[in-house]
Every structure is written in C-alpha cells, then in structure tokens.
Chain A
Amino acid sequence: MTKQESAARALASGRADAQGLNSENQQKVTNLWQDAIYRLTRNRAAVLGLILIVLLVLMSAFAHVVAPMHFTAGDAALNNAVPLWLTKVMPGHMETYTQISDIYPLGADYLGRDLLSRVIYGTRVSLPVGFVGALTALLIGLIYGSVSGYYGGKVDNIMMRIVDIMYAFPTMLLIILMMAFFKSSFSGAATPGTPAYEFNRINKVVDSLLGLQSGGMLFIFIGIGLTAWMGIARLARGQILSLKEKEFILASHMIGARDGRIIWRHILPNIIGPILVSVTLAIPGYISTEVFLSFIGLGVDPPAPSWGAMISDGAKALRSYPHQVLLPALFLAVTMFAFNFLGDGLRDALDPRMRGTK
C-alpha cells in the first residue's frame, strides 16, 4: 500500500474513528436515526398520525372482515335508507321523507349499498394511491436527481431543463388528459397481443390484488407517478450538489470507490432524511389528486369505492342526505391529517437545524 493510499483510507475511516472515540468518552452514542426516532416518539401528534396510518392500513388490508358487507352488495329498494338513530342526529327532518332501515349501520347510498362498507373499502383505493404514488415519485425522482446532481455539468443542465419544462405543465390538466386517454384507449376490449391488451391485463391484476373489480388503479398510479417525481428530483439534486464536494466523498474517490458505490453508500444515507420528509408530506397530495379525479368522473371506475366518487354522489343530495357526503369526507380528512402529522413530525425529527434544541 502506498503512502497516499493509506492516508486516504485513514481519512475515509475518520468518521468511524471519531464515533469510536465518542463511545469511549460518552455514555450513550446516538446517530441521526436513533435521535430522530427518539424525537418522533416524543412528538404526540406524529405518534397519533402513525397510529392512525397503521389503523387505516389494517382496515384496508382486512376490509373484508371489518366491513359489514361487500362494497357492491346492497338492496336497490333500500336506496338512501337511513338508520333511525341517524335521523335524530342529522339536521333537518330526515325521518319525514326517508326510508328508515337499521340494516345499514350508517345508511345506504343512492343505489342502496352500505355506506360504511363502501367507505371502509375506500381505503383500498386511497392508501395504495398514496403509497404507490410516493414510491414511484421517490424512485424516479431519486434516481433522476442523483444522476443529475452527481454528474453535474452538461448532463445536469439538460436534465434540469427537462424538469423545468415538466414543471411548466399544468399538472392537474395533464393528469386529466392522461386519464381520459387511458380510459378510452385501454378500458375497452382490445385485441390480444397489442400493447393495449397487455396493459389492460396488468391493470386487471393490480385491481384484483387490491381486491377491487374494475378499478383502473394502474392508470391512476401511472398518472400520479409521472407527474409527481419532479419535486423529489430537484430536492435530491440540490442535496447532492452540496454533498459531493465534501471531504469524505473526495476521500472515497481517492481510494478508488466506484460512482455507484459512492452514491449508494455515502451520498444516499445523507440525503434520505429530507427526501423522506418531503415524500411523506406529499402523500396527502396524491390521495387528494385521486379524490379530485374520481369526483369529476375520471378517476377510479365504478363500482370500486372511491371517496371522491362517494362525495360526488352525495353532493347531489346534500340537502336531503348530508351524511352521505360527511362520511367519506371525514375518512378523507382523517387520512390527510394522519399523513400531515407524521410528515411534520418527521421533519422536526430529521431537520438538522432542530438538533440540540430543547
């Protein structure tokens, strides 16, 4: 080993040495993540958010157990039926014009399907949209941003101009256009062997994995994934630009580490915090995008139970049956709260500027 190499290695392992030293001097060593978890568990709102999210995930996984009936089951004769207790709670005089039926714990919708069951099954639409949207955005954005920031120069310039162009696109309009395109091109009977047919097949697999018939969830995942990655890409690029000039990265270069290893082992662990925070805080946005799309009829295909479609249906009879809107609205709001609480908590826990305060 030459003198230069050994010096570089010593420099690279400097961090580990410093930590070793610390452990001798201090009683307890905390790294960023242990620190962050400690802070997170001390933050009541964040813990509440986390508990709510776990509950919602369980609810969607075991919807067939939790929900009183299937989301398509119902009795058309009992349309808009309301249980007796609800007529006493809701404003107005529901009992004078509605059918009273205690079969449904929270009433039936305009087709006589159980509202509660549909709202519970609705988690199977909203949560996957949130998580898959986040995952796609994370994956595309992280890779794109890392490559752009790490290689810099011309590559960076071109890649970031592309992001700029994508940013100028009115996102909501782009998603609406894409959904209109997907819906009419792929939902019909396509001939076997064509890309449309294959696409349809994958879509059906995704829907049945989620336990929905004819939801068209794949299209929503694609629509959100394609429009949501740019923010993450910019964030990752900015972080990497500032990191790659740091000494420990230089040291890795000197000892001959390959680019992939440097990005994966040295850069990613250092930038994942802020990116995790921004992804978590973006999840409510993805969920509400799907709700918006379903509201205007371009989201999930019926009879799959989307909260957006339920709000849209309920809003038509807002005066007579306000609970038909309030129930899905409540679930939606609670879900959004949960993710915002958790995201805020994560940010406070991971933000280095918050370290050492209080």
Chain B
Amino acid sequence: MSRFIIRRLIWTIPVILFISIVTFLLVHAVPGGPFDTEKPRPAEIQANLMKHYGLDQPLWKQYTDYMGFTRNPSGDYAGILQWDFGPSITQRSRTVNEIFAAHLPVSATLGVAALLIAVGVGVPLGIIAALKQNSAWDYLSMALAIVGVSVPSIVIGPILILVFALTLGWLPVAGWGSLKHILMPSLALGLSSSAIIARLTRASMLQVIREDYIRTARAKGLSEKVVIVRHALKNAFIPVATVLGPMFAALVTGTFVIEQIFAIPGLGKYFISSITNRDYSVVMGTTLLYALFLVASNLFVDVTYAFLDPRIQFE
C-alpha cells in the first residue's frame, strides 16, 4: 500500500514537468509581452523591465529559474520547488502567491459547495431510483438526472438569477461574501455533476443489490437500513468515488464561467484576465496549481479505493 503511494508520488514528477513545459511554451509562444503599451516606452526602460523580470534570459533559463532548478539572476533559488510562484508581472506590488491566497479560497469554497451539492443530491437520488426500480420515483429521478446532464451551468446560472433573484427576490443577483451568495453559483455548478453521480449510483446500486452477500445479509435478519447503508452502499460507492477526484478538479476549474456570471472574485476570473494581460507568472502558476491539484485528487481517490473495497490490491 505505502509502496503504491510512493510509486504514484514519483510518477507525479514527470507529469508535473511535462505540464509545466507545455504551459511554459504555450504561454511564451503567444506574441506580445506584458509590457506592451499603446505608447511605446523608451528602449532602455523596456530593456530594464525585461531584465528585472528575467525576461531577457534565454527561454530554457527562464524555465529552470521559474521551476527553481537554477539560480535566478539575483542569485537565489526561487521557484516552484521552493513554493514561490514569482511576482505578478502586471500587478507590481503583488506576488502570485499573494494573488492565490486572495482568490483561490473563493474558488475552492465554490468548488467544495458544488461538490457537496453534487454528492448530497446525486447519491440519495441514485439510491432511491435503484431501490424502487421502474417506479415513479425511479423515472422522476432519472428524468431529473437527464435534465442535469443536458443543461449546462451556463444556462442554469442565468435562469437561477432570473427566478430567485430578479423575480422572487430571495437571493442576491451576484457578488460574494455571505452564505446567500454561495447558494446559486454552487447550485448552477453542481447540478450537472449531481446528475452524473445519480446515474452512476443507480447503476452500481442495481448491480450490487443483486449480489449474494446482500441476500445473505437479509437472510441473517438485518434490517433493510443496515443492509443498504452498511453492506450495499459501501460497494456501490466505489464507481462513484472514482469520478469524485476528476469531478472536484473539474468543478474548481469549471468555475471560470460561473465566476463571470455571478461576478465572483475567484481565481478563474483572475486567470482569464491574466491571459489577456499576458501575465505569464499568474497563468503558469494557476495552470500548475490546478494540475497539482488534479494529480493529488486522483491519488486520493486511488487510495480511498483500498479502504472501500479490501478486494482491491495494489502490487
């Protein structure tokens, strides 16, 4: 088990290297620099600026400096390895770490809230549908699920605003700060995931419930609740757990549009504006951060497997 985790951890190194190189090249291949202004600056000032941010160095050196593999022009190791994402190029007074600290918690809160909605709505819906297969409940929840899968957050968001904020006036239209603000965006974000989870839970529950050990549990005279929760759900949850990792990552990165619709000051919104501003360090940093995050959540899911199903062995 621990050997498996260590192997997976080592595997993340080439993954992160690859992602960082691709991102670095893509970002730097975009023509136009961060210091392009309408009115051209004197060449010396431009050169000084480039020098200050190390942009005058050869590309490979900029990369190794950024990753913290080599000493940067000021003679320090300051890069990703040292958990230093560097200064923001367009916002002179802030470092990327500070920008993350200010905006990431917002996106993460939104992502967690959406995941809670996805699991909290999806799993019960799937269980009910499976336990009462072919009943009205089953059809209703599967109809809801197909609505959730088909209607993207970009459509749900404005409709929620229209109904709950503009017509009923129960919730604020947009913004961030209170629990009321989180409700609509996380619902818009989490609904399609909850539909996916509902369908998955139903399918795997239907399979598990026909297994012999469930019959055994019933024959022992266990109450239906114990049979379902303790025996069936535990195994039925495994396929659901496999999607939770990528799903959480997708939810957190999927906040771009939602943050735009609901005017939420999250990292997604900041990322988009950094692309147009050519703020290399913010773009690189965000991509790497999300990649790290995706790798970590996948690892977490793989490890959870073993706890959920002792039959799964890692060599």
Contacts and interface: CB of A to CB of B under 8 A. Distances in A.
A288 B153 CA distance: 9
Contact of A296 (B18, B149, B173, B260): B260
Nearest to B17: A165
Given A180-B275, A318-B162, A319-B166, A172 B30 contact: no
Top 10 closest A-B pairs, CB basis?
A: A336-B150, A329-B155, A170-B290, A288-B152, A337-B150, A325-B158, A168-B15, A177-B26, A180-B275, A340-B150
Given A92-B166, A178-B26, A185-B29, 12 more contacts: A91-B166, A169-B291, A170-B253, A170-B287, A171-B250, A177-B26, A180-B30, A181-B26, A284-B150, A292-B152, A298-B275, A333-B152
Interface of B: 11-12, 14-15, 18-19, 22-23, 26-27, 29-32, 146, 149-152, 154-155, 158-159, 161-162, 166-167, 173, 249-250, 253-254, 256-257, 260-261, 271-272, 275-276, 283, 286-287, 290-291, 294-295, 298
Given A173-B253, A181-B30, A311 B155 contact: yes
B249 to A, nearest CB: 7
A251 to B, nearest CB: 33
Interface of A: 91-92, 164-165, 168-174, 176-178, 180-181, 184-185, 188, 284, 288, 291-292, 295-296, 298, 308, 311-312, 314-315, 318-319, 322, 325-326, 329, 332-333, 336-337, 340-341, 344
A170 B249 contact: yes
A296 B291 contact: no
A144 B139 CA distance: 38
Contacts of A319: 166, 173
Contacts of B249: 170
A184 B32 contact: yes
A56 B240 CA distance: 34
A170 B152 contact: no
B267 to A, nearest CB: 11
Contacts of A340: 146, 149-150
A333 B159 CA distance: 12
A173 B253 CA distance: 8
A315 B166 CA distance: 13
Nearest to B159: A329
B167 A91 contact: yes
A92 B271 CA distance: 36
B171 to A, nearest CB: 14
Contacts of A184: 30-32
B132 to A, nearest CB: 18
Contacts of A185: 29-31
Given A168-B19, A288-B154, A308-B154, A173 B287 contact: yes
10 contacts: A170-B287, A172-B250, A173-B287, A177-B27, A184-B32, A185-B29, A319-B173, A326-B159, A336-B149, A336-B151
